């Protein structure tokens, strides 16, 4: 799911939970050892169905924003299934006075509940961003001339788009990604600073030695009120930006000609596959 997600925060959340799941597997082994029972693998049909549902979303042809929302929803259904199981097992362990087993199960239950809460928050943000982006795209479509360009102009446009991709910057369309895309550090910094933007990270989203999810903070704007944003240097921002293979999708102006602060960090590989598939 992390590879399929275009939203950087969602992909990072999937990666972190995958690491968390490995720790949960260790707890399950500890539980079997405590009970003196040999662990055996078994196929869970309901869970298999939930996994297949997620795979169908990944394989489906849809806009990146819609796919991200679908992935978050599918992941939440998995979390709910696991939470119900861990809750029942924890209650059973408590009823049978297996306090150590109950403690291990409750620890995993808390992690699953926290992940579900994060996914719910992410899904709301993705829905909000998608709803905001769609009217802007529709206005752009209405303002665009309906006449068909000559073959000479079309060829020139094709060469221009190709040149933009080679320089690390280009155009990308769609409700979620209406605007330009670039990986150029100077271009990103100039775009942000022209709008008063500063590099930041989201507190509590990184592991040991990791600054976590990246953001561009705009003082005086709605995201500046988020107490979880922590200022970082541009050097730290771009080091993590390149390490994670990210690109920035951004908009210069709104459909009404006003300076836009819209930006989104996406996977370079995912975006390249998406644009190449058109």
Check whether 157 has a pLDDT greater than 50: no
* Boundaries of every domain in the chain: 8-131, 168-276
pLDDT band at 153 (very low <50, low <70, confident <90, very high): very low
Contact 172, 181 (CB under 8 A): yes
State the pLDDT at residue 2: 82
Phi and psi at residue 251, to the nearest 5°: -125, 130
Q: pLDDT (tens digit, 9 = 90+) per residue, 10-66? A: 888 898 899 899 999 999 999 999 999 988 878 888 888 888 888 888 877 778 888
Quote the distance between the C-alpha of residue 90 and its chain's center.
31
Pairing of the two strands 198-202 and 229-231: antiparallel
Can you tell me whether residue 214 is helix, strand or coil? strand
State the pLDDT at residue 128: 86
pLDDT band at 138 (very low <50, low <70, confident <90, very high): very low
Q: pLDDT (tens digit, 9 = 90+) per residue, 201-228? A: 887 777 777 888 888 998 776 554 455 7
Closest of 264, 174, 179 to residue 215, by C-alpha? 264
Closest of 5, 9, 71, 1 to residue 223, by C-alpha? 9
Q: Residue 84: how many CA atoms within 13 Å on its side-chain side?
A: 7
State the pLDDT at residue 114: 93
- Identify the residue with better confidence: 130 or 93: 93
Quote the distance between the C-alpha of residue 272 and its chain's center.
16
| Span of 102-106, 227-231, 249-253 with lowest mean pLDDT | 227-231
Residue 100 makes CB contacts below 8 A (sequence gap 6+) with 34
Contact 128, 222 (CB under 8 A): no
pLDDT band at 113 (very low <50, low <70, confident <90, very high): very high
Which residues sit opposite 200 in a β-bridge?
215, 231
> Measured between alpha carbons, how far is residue 259 from residues 137, 251, 255 in Å?
15, 8, 10
Can you tell me whether residue 227 is helix, strand or coil? coil
Question: What does pLDDT average to over the chain?
Answer: 79
Only one residue has tokens 């998995």, namely 78
Helices 64-95, 268-276: axis angle to 10 degrees equals 130
State the pLDDT at residue 106: 96
pLDDT band at 155 (very low <50, low <70, confident <90, very high): very low
> Measured between alpha carbons, how far is residue 219 from residues 27, 197, 213, 234 in Å?
44, 7, 18, 16
State the pLDDT at residue 271: 62
Q: pLDDT (tens digit, 9 = 90+) per residue, 67-105? A: 889 999 999 999 999 999 999 999 999 999 999 999 999
What would the CATH number be for the domain defined by 8-131? 1.20.1260.10
Q: How far apart are CA 122 and CA 167, in angstroms?
A: 32
């Amino acid at each position: 799911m992390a590879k399929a997600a275009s939203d950087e925060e969602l992909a990072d959340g999937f990666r972190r939970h995958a690491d968390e799941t490995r720790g949960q597997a260790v707890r399950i082994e500890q539980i079997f050892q405590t009970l003196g029972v040999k662990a055996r693998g078994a196929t869970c049909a309901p869970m298999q169905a939930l996994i297949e549902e997620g795979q169908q979303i990944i394989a489906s042809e849809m806009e990146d924003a819609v796919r991200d929302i679908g992935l978050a929803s599918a992941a939440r259904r998995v979390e709910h299934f696991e939470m119900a199981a861990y809750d029942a097992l924890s209650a059973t362990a408590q009823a049978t006075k297996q306090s150590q087993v109950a403690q291990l199960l409750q620890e995993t239950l808390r992690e699953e509940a926290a992940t579900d809460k994060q996914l719910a928050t992410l899904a709301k943000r993705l829905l909000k961003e998608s709803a905001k982006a769609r009217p802007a795209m529709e206005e752009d479509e209405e303002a665009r001339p309906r006449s068909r360009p000559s073959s000479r102009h079309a060829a020139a446009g094709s060469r221009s788009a190709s040149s933009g991709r080679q320089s690390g910057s280009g155009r990308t369309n769609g409700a979620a990604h209406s605007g330009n895309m670039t990986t150029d550090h100077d271009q990103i910094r100039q775009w942000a600073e022209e709008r008063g933007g500063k590099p930041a990270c989201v507190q509590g989203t990184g592991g040991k030695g990791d600054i976590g999810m990246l953001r561009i903070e705009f003082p005086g704007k709605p995201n500046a009120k988020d107490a979880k944003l922590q200022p970082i240097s541009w050097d730290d921002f771009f080091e993590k930006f390149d390490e994670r293979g990210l690109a920035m999708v951004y908009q210069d102006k709104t459909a009404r000609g006003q300076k836009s602060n819209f930006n989104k960090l996406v996977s370079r590989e995912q975006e390249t596959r998406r644009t190449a598939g058109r």
